[in-house]
Structure 1
C-alpha cells in the first residue's frame, strides 16, 4: 500500500513539474487526473504529503503550485471551538487557522505556517505545516479512574486543550476518581491517539475547600512559595531604617501625610500629602523605596522579575515580593520612618504641573486611612469620623479640591474613564461565596487615582526629555476597523460617533461614554468600547497612552506589586546619584526590551487567572439560585446562543435550544424567531427576565432560559405581532 501511495505521489508531482502545467484548484486537478469521487480523499492525502515535504504549496487563491510557499512562524492561540489564530511578532494582524488546518497544534505552540488567503479588506488565513516547539508541557484537570481497564484520564480544566489525557495506572501517582491533578505530557496524541501523560502532583479532591482555586493557580503556572534562600535574603534585608539609610535623603518626616487604601490592604506602597502655597497646590506622592531592599540581580530581584506582578485572586494574594518586605519594611505603615522615592509637584489652579522634584526621601506617615473613612469625611460629613481625624480634615478638603481640578483637566483633553460596575465576592472561611457586592468607587478612590495618574505622567515626561532608557506604559491607537464597527453598532441605540479620516480621537469615545451614563445599555457599550481598543503594555519606547489621552505615561507608583515600577525606581535612583554613565545606559538599553515584554505577558497571565477565579466563584454562587428568576441585559450574541448579564455582574448563556421549541435565526446582532404562530426578536442591550437553569462548576458556566421581559422595559421588537397572533 505504501508503494502505491509513493507511486501516486510521483504521478502528481511529475504532472506539476511539467512545463505545460498551470496551477489548479483541487477539483480541477481531480478532474484532470480522472480521480473518481470516492477516491478523492486519497488524492487529498497525496497533495498534503507533497505539501508537507515542501515540494508543492497551496496559493492564496486555493491553487496547487510547484515549489515551497513562504513559511512564517508564530504562536498558535486556540479557541475552545476548534479553530485558532497564529500571532506573529512582525505582522499587525493575527492569522486565522481553520480547525482542519491546525495540524495537531495546541494552544501556545510555536508553529510554522503558510498563508492560504490574504484578500484585501479580509482577514488573513493560514495552515499550520509544522510544530516547532510545544507551548504546553503540563496540564491541570480532573482525574477519572477506569477501574476495570486499570487506567485513567485527566480531563483538562483548560477548555482550549480539547482532548482528554490518557494516564497509565503506573503513572497515576495513586490518584483516585475526583482528584484534581497536575499531569506532565509525555505524548501529544499523534497518529489519531489520545495525548498521554503522567501525574506529577495531586492538588486535592474536587470537593475539598481551596482545591478549586489552587487548580487555577497551578493551571496558570503561578508561583506560590518563595525558596528558603529568598526568604532568608528578605529577612536580612528587612531591618529598621537607620541613620545611615537616611543619609543624603530629603527629610519629609515633618510633613503631614497619609496612606489611603482599602480596609484589607496590607502592602501600602503610596502615601500622599497636599499643602497650599499661595494659589498653587504642593502635591506630594511618596512611593516606597523598594529598590533599597531589592538589589539588582539578587535572588529576590530575579524572582520578582520572573513573577512580574502580584496576583490578586478572589480569595488570596500571590505576592511578587516576600511578605517580610511587601507587608513589612517596604510598606508605608503609619507611625514608622520609611524610605521613599517622592514626586513633589507644584500644581496651579488650572491643574497644570508648573514645577516638580523627584527625590529620595525619608517619610513618616501620620495615619493609615481607608477609602470608606475618607468618604465619610468628605461625602457623608460624618461628625464622628470628622472629629476623630480633625487635624487631617483640612488636608482632605485640599485633596478633594485638587482632585476635581486635575480630573476636570484630564477629562477636557479626552481621557477615557471606564467606570464599570465591578464586583467584590465575599467568601466564608472555606472559600464558599456568600455575597456578590459592587465595589464602591467613591470620592476617596478617585482622589488616589487622580494623584497617582498625575505622578506617573510627570515622571514619564521628565525622563522622556532627559532621553534616558526608561519603561513606559503605552496604549496604542485602536484599529480604525474596530472603531467603525463600534460606531455602526451604537447606531442601534440612537448614538453616533465622529471618526475622522485616518484619525481616531479618545475624546469621541469619552463623549460616547458620557452619553450612555446611567442608561440600561451603559455596561454593554462600555465593554464593547473597551474591546474595540488595544491592550496597554510596557515598552522601552514612548508612543503615548491613547486611553488617557496622555503623551507621556509610566507606572511609577506600585513597586511592591509591579516589576516595571521597581525597574523604573532603579533607573531614577541611578540618575539621581549621578551613576547614569554610558556603561549604565548601555546596560539598561540591553535589558529593557526583554523586561517590558515579559512584564506585559505576566500581567496578562495574572489578569486571566483573576478572571477565572471570579468566574468560578460566581458560578458557585449561582448554584444556590437554580430555578430563581432575575432581570438582566443581553450582553453578547453568538451562533450558539445569547449571553445575559445580571445587575450583580454575573453572566450566563441562554442556549439557542433553551429559547423556544420554535425555530430561531441568528443575524450578527440579533436572534429572530420564526415559529408558526410567533415572531420575536432579541437584540444586544435588550432587557429581559431569565431563570437560572443550571451551573457547571468545572466549566465555570451558567445556563439561563428566557421567561419574559424585564419589568418596566416594555415590549421587545416584534412583541406586538406576537400578542396579536396569539389573540387570533
Structure 2
C-alpha cells in the first residue's frame, strides 16, 4: 500500500463518523489546492474500486472494519443458504437473494453489522469455479441439464450448445460458466462420457477439481528427451552413497519411490541418512515439465487411480529410487543421540543404489520375528532393527516436545475391474509406517532449520495454533462426554492437547474426541515465512521428502542447490526468489485443497455406492456428529451415515446446540457424541454421495453394553444424593 493510502486509512481509523468526508480527509492531509483535491479524490475512488474503502450515502468514507465488512469463502447448503465463517464469532448467514451472484466456495466480501445475524455479499473477489459438470436427464419437457453439484440443482440454468452437439440421456459433460447470476449461463465444452460407463464417475470428480489426467504434448516431448539412466557426468560433485545399505519402504502397490533411508549405530546414537530423489536435476525451472507440475501442485490419489504431478515415465522411472540402480539424490545426514535429538547434520547432493525395495507389510513382519523374511533379507544385516530403535527414539523425543498424534481411520476401498466397490476396511498402520514417518519428519525439520538460519528463500509448511473459540467449544463438548480438559487462559500449547488425548486413549470416545480435536485445528498450509507447526510442536518445518508428488518439495530442492550447493550470493536474485516462493506457496495450498477435496469426494461417492448393495443390513457404530436434523454414525469400516430425525418416531427430539445432543421430550432418551448405537442401512445414493441409517432395537435403544461416562457420573451423584436424603430422614426419625 502506498504512503498516501496508509495516511488515508490511519485518518479514517482515528476519527469518528461525521468527520470522514472528502474535505475532512483533505484538510487532515493538508491537501488544499484543486490539484491536490483531485488527486485525493482519484485515490479514494481507486481504493473504493478495490474494496479497501466504502462510500456511504452520507458521503462518508469507511474502512472495511468500520463498514462491517468481512472477507472469506462463502459456503452454501443444499437449501441455498450461505454462510461465512468468522474466527471467534458466529458464522454470518446470507440468504440467496443477498448472495450477489456468488457460488459455493467463492471468496467474497460480506457486510454484516455487529447487531446483525444476516449479511449481504457486496463483492465477489475470486471465483472458486469457472466450470460446471453435469448430466443430461429426462425431465417433464424433455432432456434437461442436471449439475452434479447438488447446491446448483435448484438454480435456474441456461445451456449454450454448439450447432452440432446432440445431447443424449445419461451423457455427462463439462460446461464453462459464461455468465454468473440468474440464470447461470453455461456452454458445453467437453463430453466426458456416459454416467454408467466404468471410470466416468471418478473422472468427472477429478475434472470438477481441475485435475487433468493427461499431460500436454510439450511436457511429454521434454520427458522423452530425458535419459532413463543416470549419466556419468551427473555424478560429478556428489557424495557416493552407493555402497551404503539403503532401502526404500513403501506400500505394496507403490510405484514411485522418492525417499530412501540408511542408518548406522555409533557410540553417540545413530547416523541416519534420509536420501530423497533429486527431481530438480531433471525438472528444470520454468520448463514445460515444471510449469505443469506447478499447475498441478501435487499428485492426487483416488480409489482406482493416481493422477501424478509428474508423468509416470519420470515418477516411476529415472526419478524413482528403484532397487539395484544408481539414482541421484539429496541427502539429509543426521546424528541422532540416544534421546532422539538431532545433534548435528549436513545436507548435500549424493547418489545411491537402493539395496532393496521393502514394503511396510514385510518390514512389520520382520520386526515381529518372521524367520522366513528375515532370512530372505539377511543382506540388510541389522539395518531394520537399528532403524526401528532410531525412529522410536525420535518419536519419543517428538512426543516429549508435545507433538499431537491424532487418531484417524483412513479407508481402503477395493473395487472390481469396472470400478465398483466390493469391500471397505480401515487401513492398517504398523510400526514400519511410524518409523518412516518419524525419519521423514526429522529430515523435514532439519532442512527447515538449515534454510531458516541460512536465510535461504523457501516454502515452509506452517500450522498455526487453533482459535480460542474452537478450543473453548471443544472443552465444553469434552466435558459433556465426561472428560475434562484443562488449558491455560492465554496461549494454547500442543503438549496440553497431547496429554489430554493420552488420557482418553483407552476410552470408547477416543476416536470421536480425537476427530473433534482435529476439526478444531487450523488447516496446515504453505508459506514463505517460517511460523512453526503447532500440531508437530516444531518451530521450523517444511516439506523436503516428496518432490515426485509435491511441488513445494521440488522448490525446496532448487533453493538448496542454488544457495547452498552452488553458493549464489546475488541479493536481487534472493529477493526475487522470496517473492516467487510466496506465490508458489499460495498456489500449492490451493491445489492441495482441491486435490484433498477430490479424494474425499471420490471416497464418499464410492462408500455410498458400496452401501447401495447393503440396504437392510445392520451394524454397530459410534455417533460422530449431532445436528438439528439428526446425527451421524460411523461404522467400524469408516462408512458414515445420517440418522434423520424424521426416522426417529418414538419421541419428539429437541436439539441442544450447547451440549450438542438430541433429547426426547417424553422419554428423555438422549443421543450425544461418542455413544454407540445399532443401525440399519435404510438408503444410499451414489449420485448424492449420501447414506441414511435408521436405529435398530426397541425405540432406537442404545447398545446396552455401552457405558457413557456421564451415566456413571450421574449415577454416583444420585447415589450420594440418596445417601444424603436418607441421613436426613434418619435424623428426623431420631428426633421424633
Note whether the superposition's TM-score is higher than 0.5: yes
Q: Does 1:165 align with 2:163?
A: no
| 1:36-51 matches, cutoff 5 A | none
Q: What is the aligned counterpart of 2:379 among 361, 367, 391?
A: 391
CA–CA separation in structure 1 for the residues paired with 2:574 and 2:234: 26
In 1, Cα distance between equivalents of 2:574 and 2:82: 41
Whole-Å separation in 1 of the counterparts to 2:160 and 2:143? 5
Unaligned runs of 5+ in 1: 1-53, 58-64, 722-728
Q: In the TM superposition, what is the alpha-carbon distance from 1:95 to its structure 2 partner? A: 6.4
1:144 matched to 2:137? The reply is: yes
Tell me, yes or no, if the aligned pair for 2:462 and 2:533 is still in contact at 8 Å.
yes
Alpha-carbon offset, residue 440 of structure 1: 1.5
Output the CA distance in 2 between the equivalents of 1:296 and 1:344.
Answer: 26
Of 612-621 and 506-515, the range deviating more from structure 2? 506-515
CA contact (8 A) 2:174 2:189 kept: yes
Q: What corresponds to 1:710 in structure 2? A: 703
- Cα pair distance change 1:657/1:568, threshold 3 Å: same
Q: CA deviation at 1:228?
A: 1.1
> Partner of 1:167: helix, strand, or coil?
strand
Which residue in the other structure is 1:339 paired with? 328
| Displacement of 1:129 | 2.8
Per the alignment, residue 77 of structure 1 pairs with 74
Cα distance per residue 1:42-94 (max 9 Å; x no partner): xxxxxxxxxxxx9866xxxxxxx786765657454222143334589xx9979
- State the partner residue of 2:408: 420
Once residues 706 and 634 of structure 2 are traced to their aligned partners in structure 1, the CA distance between those partners, rounded to angstroms, is 16
Counterpart-to-counterpart distance in 1, 2:125 and 2:481 = 48
Q: Aligned residues, how many?
A: 648
Structure with greater contact order relative to length (CA < 8 Å, sep ≥ 6): 2
* Change in 2 beyond 3 A, CA 1:648/1:151: closer
Between the aligned partners of 1:490 and 1:202, the Cα distance in structure 2 is: 50
Which whole-Å deviations, capped at 9, do the CAs of 1:125-178 have from their partners, x for residues lacking one? Answer: 63213446654331012222448x465222332536752533367679322122
TM-aligned CA distance change 1:56 to 1:359, over 3 Å: closer
Map 1:363-442; keep pairs closer than 5 Å.
363-379=352-368, 381-442=369-430
1:245 aligns with 2:234: yes
1:178 matched to 2:176? The reply is no
Cα distance between partner residues in 2 of 1:279 and 1:435: 48
Tell me the secondary structure at the aligned position of residue 633 of structure 1: strand
Other-structure match for 1:582: 571
2:288 and 2:147 map into 1 onto residues whose CA distance is 37
Shift of 1:246: 0.2
- 1:374 partner SS: helix
- 1:627-652 Cα deviation digits (max 9, x unpaired): 11111111111111111111111110
The question of whether the paired residues in 2 share the 8 Å contact of 1:75 and 1:111 is answered with: yes
Cα distance in 1 for partners of 2:522, 2:231 equals 46
Provide the secondary structure at the position in 2 that maps to 1:237.
coil
Counterpart selection for 1:519 from 502, 507, 513: 507
Aligned residue number for residue 459 of structure 2: 471
Q: Residue 576 and residue 714 in structure 1: after superposition, are their counterparts in 2 closer, same or farther (change >3 A)?
A: closer
Residues 530 and 243 (structure 1), Cα distance of their counterparts in 2 relative to 1, 3 Å cut = same
- Tell which deviates more after alignment, 283-292 or 458-467: 458-467
Counterparts of 1:70 and 1:106, CA distance in 2:
26
1:568 corresponds in structure 2 to: 556
Larger displacement relative to structure 2 (156-165 or 590-599):
156-165
Do residues 499 (structure 1) and 487 (structure 2) align?
yes
CA distance in 1, matches of 2:402, 2:625: 28
Identify the residue that residue 320 of structure 1 maps to in structure 2. Answer: 309
- Cα 1:276–1:213 change in 2 (3 A) is same
Partner Cα separation in structure 2 for residue 324 and residue 715 of structure 1: 55
**C-alpha separation between the residues in 1 aligned to 2:522 and 2:235?**
43
**Structure 1 residues 580 and 374, CA, compared in 2 at 3 Å: closer, same or farther?**
farther
* CA root-mean-square deviation: 2.6
1:637 match:
626
The Cα shift of 1:515 comes to: 1.9
- Asked if residue 603 in structure 1 is aligned to residue 596 in structure 2, the reply is no
Matching of residue 670 in structure 1 with residue 658 in structure 2: no
Match of 1:649 in 2: 638
Q: C-alpha offsets along residues 301-343 of structure 1, whole Å, 9 cap, x if unaligned?
A: 0111111100111111110011111110000000100000000
Distance (whole Å) between structure 2 residues aligned to residue 480 and residue 75 of structure 1: 19
Report the 3-state secondary structure (helix = DSSP H, G, I; strand = E; otherwise coil) of the residue aligned with 2:669: strand
2:675 and 2:708 in contact (8 A); partners too: no
Aligned residue for 1:213, secondary structure, equals: helix
Change (3 A) 1:269 1:718: closer
Deviation sequence 1:499-545 (CA, Å, 0-9, x none): 11211011111112112224221111111100111011111111111
CA 1:475–1:112 in 2, change beyond 3 Å: closer, same or farther?
Answer: closer
Q: Residues 618 and 552 (structure 1 numbering): CA distance in 2 closer, same or farther, change over 3 Å?
A: same
Match of residue 114 from structure 2: 118
> Does 1:289 pair with 2:263?
no
Instruction: Find out whether 1:103 has 2:100 as its counterpart.
Output: yes
Alignment partners' CA distance in 1, 2:687 and 2:306: 22
Asked if the contact 1:173–1:200 (Cα under 8 Å) also holds between the matched residues in 2, the reply is: no
- Structure 1 position 232 matched with structure 2 position 228: no
What are structure 2's unaligned runs of at least 5 residues? 1-53, 716-736
Name the CA distance, whole Å, in 2 between partners of 1:351 and 1:493: 36
Corresponding residue for 2:729?
none
Distance apart, 1:673 and its partner CA: 1.6
The CA deviation at 1:661 is 5.3
Structure 1 residues 480, 131: closer, same or farther in 2, change over 3 A? closer
Q: Is the 8 A contact 1:154 1:164 kept in 2?
A: no
Deviations along 1:69-124, one digit per CA (max 9) or x if unpaired, are 65657454222143334589xx997962421432332124454443x2236xxx98
How much does 1:674 deviate?
2.2
Q: 1:161 to 1:572 in 2, by over 3 A?
A: farther
Alignment TM-score, normalising by the size of structure 1: 0.84
